């Protein structure tokens, strides 16, 4: 195994990803940042210099389990103090499994400002499929307001919701309609349709060959549907695990998920085809995000737009269609490694609800809305600091969990905030059941993509309506469940997952919608803290020796 060194300077740059000029947080001047390519077993060392001048930073390696290096997870408030302006921080970790992963800022809502990218780990052993070439597709949504304006709006009374994205980006490129901006009184000067930042991304293929497309979504809000016009996709990988192959016309992908699909370049090479990303699950008001697939040797110029209209995806509110795809995603028969333990030692049932605290709209789990502590949990727990967070554990279930009407407006929208965490017995098997519900307004329930740091979990089942703790576990898929690090909880539904608490450290588990986590939609798990090695000094620069925060 080798060591892959990256030297990153994090700084502001004016960028025009969708042709509209905006201040972005960049890695070495780019958004997305560079793709990290490594081989299974390699050590990745990223030296991060924070050149933002007035803003902290922390970078999370999404999908990398950080076995033995919990302090390198990059989660501000959980595993480290923020990297202050002018400071340098070294992330050092092993990429122990092959697959498609991502990285992104994990400080406030900074991820939305453009600090993100892909991590691709090549396998040590042959994969259960083959292909001739590879392309990477990184999906995002994009706003013109700064993340500060967004965060301040979310915390206001009444709330100023971030709204639907202005554009959908593919590999950091989108296309906002400049004439619409001028018509709406916007500064036309800020929109430059000829900026190279927003030039259409072209994916070239050789006729007759098979391609692997690695697809990751780092959206702040949107559930997406991705399609390559005229080219059915065979899904072969999800979150770094091999999938029992299945074919789709288009792929639903939630924020925090990655997939690999295979396509065959077997269409008429003399025209180009659309790559399209469309919003699903929320009523869309954002135009389709597009890129172009072009055949080498065809008569069409590579940059020519396809002669057809871009695919518009399935109906945005076709929940059954999306659940069917979630359920079709099971483990490859030869790669059910390791099989799930037959039963759990503990089950935590989390009601996902929208609540109000002091007139502010929040998200809560069992009516507890999460806030991050000022001293990172990892430091407090490893060093035995007291009084740095609420030591009362959050609830294991919710009131009236067997009589609750998930389709109705919650009778009691009050909630509390807490920075308490769940402490898990080391090595124990933990089930988490995520129960979706109606929001504050009637007839509305959203999709929440939940992401677990430090582990992969088995996806045991999905259901619609209220989870039944007696009947539903009997139908869990223990035969070939896929392992993932991010999974969707569908509107009015529930999702059950299982993991082994065998990675010493403290790990965030949260909705990957940036605004939802900011509004409290998350929890934290501790396991095996006594087995955590000595923490590097640089993760605790915000903690005084006596335990308080500087």
Among all chains, which residue has been given the structure tokens 């001739």? Answer: 132
Report what 508 binds from ligand C2O, Cu ion, none; CB cut-off 5-8 Å by kind.
ligand C2O
The answer to the question of residue 451 lying near Cu ion (CB under 5 A) is no
Please report how close the Cβ of residue 336 comes to Cu ion at its closest, in angstroms: 29
Question: Nearer to ligand C2O by C-beta: 112 or 250?
Answer: 112
Question: Nearer to ligand C2O by C-beta: 224 or 275?
Answer: 224
Please report how close the Cβ of residue 192 comes to ligand C2O at its closest, in angstroms: 31
Question: Nearer to Cu ion by C-beta: 80 or 220?
Answer: 220
Report what 448 binds from ligand C2O, Cu ion, none; CB cut-off 5-8 Å by kind.
Cu ion
Strand order in the sheet with 3-15: 22-27, 3-15, 43-50, 88-94
Report what 60 binds from Cu ion, ligand C2O, none; CB cut-off 5-8 Å by kind.
ligand C2O
Report what 513 binds from Cu ion, ligand C2O, none; CB cut-off 5-8 Å by kind.
Cu ion
Question: Nearer to ligand C2O by C-beta: 181 or 508?
Answer: 508
Distances from the Cα of 525 to the Cαs of 294, 509, 528, in angstroms? 46, 7, 10
What binding mask, one character per residue, do residues 404-443 give for Cu ion by CB under 5 A, x or -?
A: ----------------------------------------
How far is the C-alpha of 485 from the C-alpha of 548, rounded, in Å? 33
Please report how close the Cβ of residue 512 comes to Cu ion at its closest, in angstroms: 7
Q: Give every CB contact of residue 478 below 8 A, 6+ residues apart in sequence.
A: 339, 340, 342, 460
Report what 231 binds from ligand C2O, Cu ion, none; CB cut-off 5-8 Å by kind.
none
- Furthest C-alpha separation in the chain: 71
Please report how close the Cβ of residue 62 comes to ligand C2O at its closest, in angstroms: 4
For residue 427, is the peptide bond before it cis, meaning its omega torsion is within 30 degrees of 0?
no
The answer to the question of residue 516 lying near Cu ion (CB under 5 A) is yes
Residue nearest to ligand C2O (CB): 62
Q: What is the total residue count of the chain? A: 550
Binder of Cu ion out of 166, 332, 448, 455 (CB under 5 A) = 448
Question: Nearer to ligand C2O by C-beta: 166 or 453?
Answer: 453
Q: DSSP letter string over 62-84?
A: ET---TT-GGGS--BTTTBPPBP
The answer to the question of residue 513 lying near Cu ion (CB under 5 A) is yes
How far is the C-alpha of 120 from the C-alpha of 98, rounded, in Å? 8
The answer to the question of residue 511 lying near Cu ion (CB under 5 A) is yes
How far is the C-alpha of 76 from the C-alpha of 539, rounded, in Å? 9
How far is the C-alpha of 244 from the C-alpha of 108, rounded, in Å? 37
Please report how close the Cβ of residue 449 comes to Cu ion at its closest, in angstroms: 7
CA quadruple 372, 378, 383, 384: dihedral, nearest 10 = 60
How far is the C-alpha of 265 from the C-alpha of 336, rounded, in Å? 30
Q: Give every CB contact of residue 296 below 8 A, 6+ residues apart in sequence.
A: 204, 205, 206, 207, 269
Q: Give every CB contact of residue 194 below 8 A, 6+ residues apart in sequence.
A: none
Distance of CA 249 to the CA centre of its chain: 23
Question: Nearer to ligand C2O by C-beta: 63 or 463?
Answer: 63
Please report how close the Cβ of residue 486 comes to Cu ion at its closest, in angstroms: 12
Between CA 256 and CA 259, with CA 339 as vertex, the angle to 5 degrees is 25
Report what 516 binds from Cu ion, ligand C2O, none; CB cut-off 5-8 Å by kind.
Cu ion
Question: Nearer to ligand C2O by C-beta: 59 or 178?
Answer: 59
Report what 243 binds from Cu ion, ligand C2O, none; CB cut-off 5-8 Å by kind.
none
Please report how close the Cβ of residue 48 comes to ligand C2O at its closest, in angstroms: 17
Distance of CA 27 to the CA centre of its chain: 19
Q: Give every CB contact of residue 41 below 8 A, 6+ residues apart in sequence.
A: 1, 94, 95, 96, 124
Q: Any bridge partners for residue 17, and if so which?
A: none
Site for Cu ion in 369-398 (CB under 5 A): none
How far is the C-alpha of 58 from the C-alpha of 66, rounded, in Å? 15
Report what 512 binds from Cu ion, ligand C2O, none; CB cut-off 5-8 Å by kind.
ligand C2O
- Secondary structure percentages of the chain, helix, strand, coil, to 5: 10, 40, 50
Which residues of this chain interact with ligand C2O, rule CB under 6 A?
A: 60, 62, 75, 104, 106, 256, 451, 453, 508, 510, 512
Q: Give every CB contact of residue 243 below 8 A, 6+ residues apart in sequence.
A: 235, 236, 237, 329, 330, 331, 332, 482
Report what 106 binds from ligand C2O, Cu ion, none; CB cut-off 5-8 Å by kind.
ligand C2O
Please report how close the Cβ of residue 169 comes to ligand C2O at its closest, in angstroms: 17
Q: DSSP letter string over 166-178?
A: SEEEETTB----H
Please report how close the Cβ of residue 402 comes to Cu ion at its closest, in angstroms: 24
Please report how close the Cβ of residue 111 comes to ligand C2O at its closest, in angstroms: 7
Select the span of 128-136, 290-298, 500-508, 514-522 touching Cu ion (CB under 5 A): 514-522
Report what 256 binds from ligand C2O, Cu ion, none; CB cut-off 5-8 Å by kind.
ligand C2O
Alpha helices in 81-171 (DSSP H): 147-154
The answer to the question of residue 510 lying near Cu ion (CB under 5 A) is no
Question: Nearer to Cu ion by C-beta: 24 or 364?
Answer: 364
Question: Nearer to ligand C2O by C-beta: 63 or 289?
Answer: 63
Count of other CB atoms within 10 angstroms of residue 3: 11
Question: Nearer to ligand C2O by C-beta: 116 or 353?
Answer: 116
Question: Nearer to ligand C2O by C-beta: 102 or 292?
Answer: 102
Report what 104 binds from Cu ion, ligand C2O, none; CB cut-off 5-8 Å by kind.
ligand C2O
- The pair of structure tokens assigned to 67 is 């076995």
Number of helical H runs and strand E runs in the chain: 5, 32
Please report how close the Cβ of residue 512 comes to ligand C2O at its closest, in angstroms: 6
Question: Nearer to Cu ion by C-beta: 292 or 511?
Answer: 511
Binding site for Cu ion (CB under 5 A): 448, 511, 513, 516
């Amino acid at each position: 195994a080798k060591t892959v060194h990256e030297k990153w300077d994090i700084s502001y740059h004016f960028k025009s990803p969708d042709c509209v000029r905006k201040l972005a947080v960049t890695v070495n001047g780019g958004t997305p940042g560079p793709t990290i390519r490594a081989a299974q077993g390699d050590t990745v060392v990223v030296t991060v210099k924070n050149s933002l001048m007035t803003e902290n930073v922390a970078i999370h390696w999404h999908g990398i389990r950080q076995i033995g290096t919990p302090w390198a997870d990059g989660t501000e408030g959980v595993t480290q103090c923020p990297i202050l302006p002018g400071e340098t921080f070294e992330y050092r970790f092993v990429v122990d499994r092959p697959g498609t992963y991502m990285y992104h800022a994990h400080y406030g809502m900074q991820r939305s400002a453009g600090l993100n990218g892909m991590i691709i780990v090549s396998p040590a052993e042959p994969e259960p499929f083959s292909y001739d070439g590879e392309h990477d597709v990184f999906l995002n949504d994009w706003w013109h307001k700064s993340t500060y304006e967004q965060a301040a709006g979310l915390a206001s009374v009444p709330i100023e919701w971030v709204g639907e994205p202005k554009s959908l980006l593919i590999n950091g490129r989108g296309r906002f309609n400049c004439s619409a901006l001028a018509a709406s009184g916007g500064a036309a000067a800020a929109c430059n349709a000829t900026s190279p930042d927003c030039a259409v991304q072209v994916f070239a293929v050789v006729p007759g060959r098979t391609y692997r497309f690695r697809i990751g979504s780092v959206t702040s809000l949107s559930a997406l549907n991705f399609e390559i016009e005229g080219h059915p996709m065979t899904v072969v990988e999800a979150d770094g695990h091999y999938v029992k192959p299945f074919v789709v016309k288009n792929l639903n992908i939630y924020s925090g998920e990655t997939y690999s699909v295979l396509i065959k370049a077997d269409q008429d090479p003399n025209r180009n085809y659309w790559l399209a990303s469309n919003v699903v699950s929320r009523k869309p008001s954002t135009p389709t995000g597009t890129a172009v697939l072009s055949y080498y040797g065809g008569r069409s110029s590579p940059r020519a737009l396809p002669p057809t209209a871009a695919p518009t995806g399935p109906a945005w509110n076709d929940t059954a269609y999306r659940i069917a795809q979630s359920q079709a995603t099971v483990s490859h028969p030869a790669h059910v490694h390791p099989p799930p333990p037959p039963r759990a030692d503990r089950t935590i049932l989390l009601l996902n609800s929208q609540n109000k605290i002091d007139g502010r709209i929040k998200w809560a789990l069992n009516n507890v809305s999460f806030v991050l502590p000022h001293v990172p949990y990892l430091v407090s727990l490893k060093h035995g600091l007291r009084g740095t967070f609420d030591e009362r554990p959050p609830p294991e279930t919710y009131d009236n969990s067997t009589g609750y009407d998930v389709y109705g407006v919650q009778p009691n929208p009050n909630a509390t905030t807490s920075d308490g965490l769940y402490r898990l017995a080391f090595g124990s098997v933990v089930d988490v059941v995520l129960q979706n519900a109606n929001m504050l307004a009637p007839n509305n329930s959203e999709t929440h993509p939940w992401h677990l740091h430090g582990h992969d979990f088995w996806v045991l089942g999905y259901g619609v309506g209220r989870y039944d703790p007696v009947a539903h576990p009997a139908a869990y898929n223990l035969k070939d469940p896929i392992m993932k690090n991010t999974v969707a909880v569908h509107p009015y539904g529930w999702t059950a997952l299982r993991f082994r608490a065998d990675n010493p450290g403290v790990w965030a588990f949260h909705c990957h919608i940036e605004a939802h986590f900011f509004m409290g939609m998350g929890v934290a798990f501790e396991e095996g803290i006594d087995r955590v090695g000595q923490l590097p000094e640089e993760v605790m620069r915000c903690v005084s020796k006596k335990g308080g925060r500087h």
